[in-house]
Structure 1
Amino acid sequence: MEDSVAANRTPSERTPLIQRVSGGGSDKQDPDDGKPQMKESSGGEEQHEHYSNIERSDEANEEDDDDDDDDDGDDDDEDDYYDGTEVFESLKEIDSERRLRRESLAADRLSMRLLAIDDNDVELEDQILKETLNLDLSPDDAFAGYDLSRRRSQIEIQKTTRKASGRFCTMTGLCILAFGVIIAALWIGAEFIGPPNQPVGPYELIERQEGDEFFDYYTFYQGPDSVGSNGYIDYVSEDRAKTIAIANITHETDELDVFYRGRRGLSNVVDALGKSSAKKEPFLYLKTSPTDAGPRESIRLEGKRRFNRGLFIIDVRHMPAGCGTWPAFWLTDEANWPVNGEIDIVEGVNFQAEAKTALHTTKGCDMSDVSLGTMTGSWDTAVGIPDKKTGIPDMTFREARNCFVYDPHQWLNQGCVAIDTNGGSLGVDLNAKGGGIFALEWDPVNRHIRTWVFTPHNTVPENLVMAIRSASEPVVADRVMPNPEEWPLPYGYFPIGDQTNCEGTKFKNMRLVLNTALCGSVAGNRFFLDCKNESKSFKTCNEYIRSKPDALDEAYWKIRGVYVYQREWRKAWLSK
C-alpha cells in the first residue's frame, strides 16, 4: 500500500526520506525552493535542550518503528517529517553507538523510498539522492564525523600494530629458544633419539680369525668341486683334513714382529742372550694331498656369517702357486649365484704374478664410469673371443669392465677385473717376498668396492699394521681401527649404488670362502698357455696332477689371520 501511494506522489510531495526520523521536529520549510531550512538556536541551553529532544524523539521512533512500517501512508503528514539537519549537526557530540543507529535508520528509510521508485525513473532517483544527501552543510560539518572516525581508526591501528609486534617478538623468541633446545638435544643425546640408520661410523672389529679359533668361523665343505669350477680335487671334512695333516695350526716365531717393532722405534728387540724377542704367533696351514684315485684331497672353508658390507683383510705369508693351482679367497652366495654376486679378493691361476680382483654379476653392471685418479691398477683385457656363429676369434682389444658373467665380448665368467700393475703381488713372486696383506672394502653406503695389496710387508701402511697387531687386545679401547682413508690409493676401484652403472643390490648375502682347487675350468683351460713346458709332456692338466704329485709342494696356504671389520651404525648426519 505504501509503495503504491509513494509511487503516485509528485516529486514535490516526496519529502526526503531522512526527514522521517520522528520526534517532534518542527523545522520550517522554505516555500520557494522546498529545501529544508535549519532551525536557529539562540543559546547553549536552548541547543542542549534541542539535542535532548532529538535523543528522546529518536528513542521513541525506534519503539514505534514497526508500527510506522504497517501504515499505508494516507495519514502521513508533512509535519511528521523534518529535514534531518540537526541529526548531522549533532554527530560530532552524541554517543557513537547512537550515531551509528541513526545513520542505519536513515539509510534504511532512504532504501525504502528508492525501492518505491519506478526502475526506469532515473531522474527521480537522482533527485531523491540529491535532496537527501546534498544538504547545506559546511565542509567542517560534513567531514567532522569522518575525521573523528579516521582518528579513531588510526589509534586502533596503532594499538593493533603494537600488539602484533609484541606477539611477533614473543613468538620469534620462543621459536629460537625451541630450535636451540632441539639442536642441543640432537647433538648431546643423539644416541637416545631413535635407532641409528646407516653404517657410516668408524670401523669396528667383528671377526678375528686367528690360531686355534680360526676354524670356529668356518665349516668344511665335503664333496667334489662344483660343476662350474670342475676342479680336479675332492674336498674333505675337518676330521679327515686333520687326520691327513692338510689343515693345521702351528705356533712359530713371527720375524715380522721384530721388523714392526724396529719400524716403530721400539727397543729390546733382542734379549741378553742375543735371541730375538719376537714372540711366537699362530699360523694356519692348508695343503692338498694325492690319492690313488687321481683327484687330490683339498680343503674348502665356507664362512658361517653372511655379509652385505665390510672391510676384509687377510695376512698371507704363502699361497699356493705353480702349474695347475687355482687358490682363492672370495665372497659369494653359491646358492644364488650369480644373482647375489661374487667378489674375488685373492685369486691365483697357475703362474700368475699380478694380484687381481674380479666382480661377477647378472646383467646390468659395468665399470665404464670409473673416474681417473681413483685407482692405480688397470683393467684386464678380453681379446680373441670366438664368435658364437662363426667361431672365428675376435681380435678386437677390449677392457674387461663388464661384470656380467655371460657378456658376449668377454671370456665366459670373466667379469670386471682390476689388475695390480706393480706386479710381483701373487703366486711365486709373492711367496719370494714373504707374502703380503690383501684388503677389500665393500662399502655400499659410500658406493664403492676398493681393493689393495701390500707386498712386501714393509709397504704396509702404519695404520693397517697397528690394526692387525692390536686386533688381539682384549680391551676394545686398546685396539687401533683401520682407516682406508689413511692408505694409498687402491689398485682396484669399483663404483656401485646410486648414480653408477652397477646397482648396489648386485652384491648381497655373501659369505667368505677359502679354498684350493686344481685344474678345472680356469687353470685347466689355461694349461697350454701358462704351463708350456709341462704341456709338452702331458696332454691335460688333470694328467699332470695325477702323474706329478711331488710337483705341488708349493701348493699350500700359510695365513697369519683374517680380520673382518664393519662400520658402526650411526645417524648419517652425525658422521659428518
Structure 2
Amino acid sequence: MAAYQLQDDYGTGDTFFDNFDFYTGGDPTNGYVSYVDRSTASSSGLINTSGGSVYIGVDSTNVASAPGRQSVRLSSTKTYNHGLVILDLAHMPGSVCGSWPAFWMLGPDWPNNGEIDIIEGVNEQSTNAVALHTSTGCTINDSGFSGKLQTSNCDVAAAGQSNNAGCGIGSSDTQSYGDGFNQAGGGVYATEWTSAGISVWFWPSASVPSDIANGGPDPSGWGTPSAAFAGDCDIDAHFNQLQILFDVTFCGDWAGNVWSTSSCASKDSSCTSYVQNNPADFAESYWSVNSLKVYQDGSSARNVTAFDASTPSSRIVRKHRRNGFYHGQ
C-alpha cells in the first residue's frame, strides 16, 4: 500500500481561491446560471474565507435575470495524474429544488482524458452517486464497494446505456448528500486514484478515520469504499491531467429535465421560473470547505501544471449525464 505524502494543501484563507480559475462562460449544461468572476463573487458575498473555512455560494438575495442566478464555478490551476484527494466539508449545497451542485475532476479533450464525479445531485436528491466518464474501452466490475452499481460501462457512447451515462455507483447513505449530509454536521470524501482503479470513501464528521485528521492517510485501513471502479479498464490510458472542480448550476439538462416528474413540480410548473423568483430558497446552496488536500505516493506522483482553463483554446465544453440527461461542464 502506498505511503501517502501531502502534495497540495489548498488552505482556508484567501489563498484558497488563488489556486482556482473562475469560469465565466456560458453554462455547457444549458443551466439557468450566470457564473461570475472572482471580483464579482467576492463583492456579492458569493465567496469568503472567514471563520476558518471557505464559503462558495450562490446569490440567494435577488430575483434573477438572464442568463440566470449568479453562482461560482472553480477549476484548479493544477492538474493531477493519480493521487489521494481528501475533501473535508462542513456543509455542501442542500437538497434544493432547481439546484445541481457537483464536486468533481475533469481532464482536457473530454471524454478522452476522463472525468470523476465525486459528489453530485439535483433537486431534492438525498443520496450521493459517483460516476466515471471515459472514451471507449473501460468497464467496471460489480464488486469491491458498498454502493449499488447503476451502470458498468464508462464509455459515454456505450450501447445499452443512456447517452453519456458512463459508469455509476449510487450510495444508500442519506448522510452522503445534501440535507442529510448537513444535518449530520458535514463529513469527508476521500478519492484514491491509482493505476489499479479509482475508489471513493465517505464518512460523516463523527466517523472520520484518525489517520486523516493526523495527516497520514492510509486507505488500507478504511474498509470497503462506497464506490470502487476497477475491471476491464486501463485507468492510466483513460484518466489524465484532471483538474478539481466545484460548481452549482440550476435547472438545465438534468435538474430541469426531470423537474416535471419530481416533487419539485408542485412548487412551480417551470424550474427556471422557480429558480428566478425564489432567491431565499437557495440560502443552503453553498459549499463550506474545512480543507482540501491532495496526497501522492512517491512512485506515482505525476502532477503537472494545468493549462489556463479560462482561455478559449483550452476551455472544456462537453455534455454528459447519467439517466439520459446531459451534464455538460
Range class of TM-score, shorter chain: 0.7 to 0.9
Q: Per-residue CA shift, 1:32-58, capped at 9, x if unaligned? A: xxxxxxxxxxxxxxxxxxxxxxxxxxx
Residue type at the aligned position of 1:442: W
TM-score normalised to structure 2 length = 0.85
CA contact (8 A) 1:291 1:297 kept: no
SS of match in other structure, 1:223: coil
Q: Does 1:506 align with 2:278?
A: no
Distance 1:488 1:559, change over 3 A: same
Distance 1:291 1:462, change over 3 A: same
**Could you tell me which residue of structure 2 aligns to residue 452 of structure 1?**
201
Q: Distance in 1 between matches of 2:93 and 2:64?
A: 22
**Could you tell me which residue of structure 2 aligns to residue 465 of structure 1?**
213
Residue type at the aligned position of 2:193: W
Cα distance, 1:201 vs. partner? 4.7
4+ long deviations beyond 6 Å:
none
Q: Per-residue CA shift, 1:310-357, capped at 9, x if unaligned? A: 100111111112111111111102x40111110011112212121221
Q: Does 1:285 align with 2:33?
A: no
CA contact (8 A) 1:350 1:523 kept: yes
Cα distance, 1:569 vs. partner? 2.9
The structure carrying a bigger strand percent of its residues is 2
Cα distance, 1:362 vs. partner? 1.2
Q: Distance in 2 between matches of 1:529 and 1:320?
A: 22
Q: Per-residue CA shift, 1:107-161, capped at 9, x if unaligned? A: xxxxxxxxxxxxxxxxxxxxxxxxxxxxxxxxxxxxxxxxxxxxxxxxxxxxxxx
Residue type at the aligned position of 1:562: L
Q: Does 1:439 align with 2:224?
A: no
Query: What does 1:514-533 align with in structure 2 at a 5 Å threshold?
Result: 514-530=246-262, 532=263
TM-score normalised to structure 1 length = 0.49
Distance 1:351 1:488, change over 3 A: same
Q: Does 1:223 align with 2:25?
A: yes
Cα distance, 1:514 vs. partner? 0.9
Cα distance, 1:304 vs. partner? 0.7
What is the percent sequence identity of the aligned residues?
A: 33
**Could you tell me which residue of structure 2 aligns to residue 114 of structure 1?**
none
**Could you tell me which residue of structure 1 aligns to residue 105 of structure 2?**
331
Q: Distance in 2 between matches of 1:412 and 1:520?
A: 16
SS of match in other structure, 2:220: helix
Distance 1:430 1:418, change over 3 A: same
Residue type at the aligned position of 1:328: A
SS of match in other structure, 2:111: coil
SS of match in other structure, 1:239: helix
Structure 2 unaligned blocks of 5 or more = 301-329
SS of match in other structure, 1:493: strand
Q: Does 1:203 align with 2:12?
A: no
Q: Distance in 2 between matches of 1:204 and 1:312?
A: 11
CA contact (8 A) 2:57 2:287 kept: yes
The number of residue pairs the alignment matches comes to: 294
Residue type at the aligned position of 1:554: E
Structure 1 unaligned blocks of 5 or more = 1-199, 252-281, 381-399, 468-480, 571-576
**Could you tell me which residue of structure 2 aligns to residue 485 of structure 1?**
220
**Could you tell me which residue of structure 1 aligns to residue 131 of structure 2?**
358
Select which of 31, 35, 42 maps to 1:242.
42
Q: Distance in 1 between matches of 2:278 and 2:248?
A: 17
**Could you tell me which residue of structure 2 aligns to residue 150 of structure 1?**
none
Q: Per-residue CA shift, 1:517-546, capped at 9, x if unaligned? A: 11111111121233x2x4135232111111
Cα distance, 1:292 vs. partner? 4.6
Provide the aligned C-alpha RMSD in A: 1.7
Q: Per-residue CA shift, 1:526-570, capped at 9, x if unaligned? A: 21233x2x4135232111111212211111111111010011138
CA contact (8 A) 2:53 2:291 kept: yes
Which entry has the higher C-alpha Rg, 1 or 2? 1
Cα distance, 1:234 vs. partner? 1.0
The structure carrying a bigger helix percent of its residues is 1
Cα distance, 1:363 vs. partner? 1.7
CA contact (8 A) 2:113 2:239 kept: yes
**Could you tell me which residue of structure 2 aligns to residue 541 of structure 1?**
271
